[in-house]
Amino acid sequence: MQSFRTELENPIVERDIIELEQKIRLFREGKIPDEKFRSLRLARGVYGQRQPGVQMVRIKLPYGKMTLAQWKRISDISDEFSTGNLHLTTRQDIQVHFVSLDRTPELWSQLEQDDITIREACGNTVRNITASDAAGIDPDEPFDVTPYADAAFRYFLRNPICQDMGRKFKMSFSSSDKDTAFAYMHDVGVIPKIQLIDGKEVRGFKVMIAGGLGAQPQLAKVAFEFLPADQLIPYIESVLRVFDRHGERSSRHKARMKFLVQKIGMEAFEELVKEEFTAVKNKVVPIDADAWIATEPSETPGALPAYTIENPQQFEQWKKTNVFEQKQAGFFGAYVRVLLGNISSDISRLLIEKLQPVIADDVRVTVNQGLLLKFIRGEHLAYVYSQLEAVGLAAPGFNSVADITACPGTDTCNLGISSSTGIAVALEQVIQEEYPGLIYNTDIKIKISGCMNSCGQHGMANIGFHGSSMKSKGKVLPALQVLLGGGTMGNGAGRVADKVLKVPSKRGPDVLRSVLNDYATNLQEGELFNDYYDRRGERYFYDLLKPLADLTTLQDEDFIDWGQANDFATAIGVGECAGVVIDLIATLLYEAEEKLLLATESITAGAYADAIYHAYSCFVQSAKALLLDDGVSCNTQISIINDFEKHFEETRRFPVSNFKDMVLEINKQEPSAAFAEQYFQQAKEFYKASQQYRANKTAQTVNA
């Protein structure tokens, strides 16, 4: 592996990239264990694929925004390092696949030339912060949430409190009470509100916490009906500190924040959050939204090139379903349906070239894997449509029944059980050919995941599917779990879909036909789908679909998954949605030493809150190393602190006193220079004593 040189203006970013290159080299040389290296690369957006020897790189686009230059940069990157495909995700990221691990630092370096990062796009970190794609132009919004989402992204990127948590952490900013960013399914989800306080309009947010999908969905709880905007980031910081200290770390299936709140209760959780407030870096974080450089409308272009519209009827449908008038008079937003979220680099560059004169320099990736083009003048809509039509991206029905969301599933993901992309294409074909009028129906959402983990968000769909398997006559066949009745209700309320039954995957189109036909035949006037589902009940739909689950009538094709030629076989690998537990003693002590170095740098830079948290991490990592070396399992940071006191301090096996009180001073002191220096010195002494204890124990073992 050859090293490379970067020429970036940001020394922090440059250091990150050089560090990744160095760690890859050490990993190749066998000097970093696989578990540790996996955790490190995930936090830098590098994710293992189903196919051995190649990586998926996740590009982090806060609130889904990319300039045209960034879109072109990503397209060029995909050509050079990947396959020429850009995959748009439900978290408004872009993923490129089949990347060589050794080339990821160079890829990252090229992205950063247009201020694009992959840092903390994966792993046990704060993932990409999503937001309503129409934020800033939404006619229903009380104010633009974009500056607040951007501030949160920048505040928590590389923040010591959220670099190696027990599990990933997801946030969203909705633009209005319609909750189009799904506050109810996030660790922290917010909805903008304005309150009249002392005769003045004050901006703030309704705050939801501890939601999540996955195999065990849980709706978020209301933390605040109204929290002033300048208090939002300090509150989130306190929440993250509690999650980092008290969250599960042994069992990844119980490590999301929703399980912590479920375990200790909302009241106890809120008390812990309040206890952390003393130690947060800033008590208020005001956002000067008026100074925010908002998206500018496109300049009035000169004469546009000649163009033609091949399908005028579809153009009219497209205007009705994909176009909306912005809150800025005279301008329109236009949505682009992207099948399976996959758009090629060639088409991307062509659209950038053709559309640049008539759209804003601000394209948003949407949460249903499409694109939003902004600030289009009414007289330019036909031209925009013609360019989309020329590249096959002018399908009407954005965000309708016909616009199906699906994760990559078994195409590239280790956790995929059965194909999600193949069934998504088949279902879209059914709607296009048999139910063309449903392009106008935006009430029903169809979402598909390749497994139960809900990357395709099937758990919140009106009609959802996730990949599974079934057995018949000693053979395994691909299957779909059918879910019904989920969805967004608005203002932070949502519904989790019910699991109805499991069917062979090839019968998925018949499931859709049965449900849609039954709804069309029996609905009452004006009845929305979920109201109809509630009136009929889960058992009714189980009985309706039960014949499709009959395994006595299987055909040979039922044993072959969508898009495959051979019989189905489950091939689930090791999931990488988060880091794994590191249980190597030397590695833990090495990490503790790294935290001390970071603390030293932070003190020198005057970043006292960061220094304190690095020192805290040194305490925890050192104590965890000695506990694990003693055979004591460690599942939360607070249990590490308690167990160390019990096993080492109370038994007088280790030269320390009042260990717990000393460590937990972190949430009792303001982050001052004096406390930072004191706490750092205590952590340094504890680390040295831990190293000596470990060395003595090893020597005794060798001499025994």
Give the pair of three-digit tokens for residue 17: 């990239």
- For residue 239, what is the enclosing H or E element? helix 232-246
Give the chain's end-to-end CA distance (angstroms, integer).
42
Please give the CATH architecture assigned to the domain spanning 312-390. Answer: 2-Layer Sandwich (3.30)
pLDDT of residue 31: 81
Give the pair of three-digit tokens for residue 478: 């691909």
Strand 55-59 with 94-99, pairing: antiparallel
pLDDT of residue 5: 52
pLDDT of residue 585: 81
Where in the chain are the domains?
Answer: 11-112, 138-291, 312-390, 405-559, 585-703
pLDDT of residue 583: 39
Cβ neighbors of 574 (< 8 A, separation 6 or more) are 48, 414
Residue 462 scores a pLDDT above 60? yes
Tell me whether the CATH fold assigned to 312-390 matches the one assigned to 585-703: no
Q: pLDDT grade, residue 578 (50/70/90)?
A: very low
Give the pair of three-digit tokens for residue 141: 């919004």
What kind of fold does domain 405-559 have according to CATH? Sulfite Reductase Hemoprotein; domain 1 (3.30.413)
pLDDT of residue 112: 95
Q: Which residue(s) pair with 484 in the sheet? A: 463, 498
Q: pLDDT grade, residue 464 (50/70/90)?
A: very high
pLDDT of residue 414: 78
Q: How many other C-beta atoms can be found within 10 angstroms of the C-beta atom of residue 534?
A: 13
Residue pLDDT, tens place only, 168-210: 999 999 999 999 999 999 999 999 999 999 999 999 999 999 9
Q: Mean of the per-residue pLDDT values for the chain?
A: 92
pLDDT of residue 282: 95
Residue 234 scores a pLDDT above 80? yes
CATH superfamily of 585-703: Nucleotidyltransferases  domain 2 (1.20.120.330)
Is CATH 3.30.413.10 what the domain over 138-291 is classified as, yes or no? yes
pLDDT of residue 566: 80
Q: Is the dihedral of CA 589, 593, 599, 602 positive or negative?
A: negative
DSSP class of residue 103? G
If phi > 0 it is left, if psi is from -120 to 50 it is alpha, else beta; for residue 214 that is left
Q: What is the mean predicted confidence (pLDDT) over 575-600? A: 72
**Contact predicate 376/358, CB 8 Å:** yes
One-letter-per-residue 3-state SS of 484-535: ECCEEEECCEEECCEEEEEEEHHHHHHHHHHHHHHHHHHCCCCCCHHHHHHH
pLDDT of residue 33: 77
Q: What is the mean predicted confidence (pLDDT) over 330-351? A: 97
What kind of fold does domain 11-112 have according to CATH? Sulfite Reductase Hemoprotein; domain 2 (3.90.480)
Q: Is the pTM of this model over 0.85?
A: yes
Residue pLDDT, tens place only, 11-37: 889 989 998 999 899 888 888 877 778
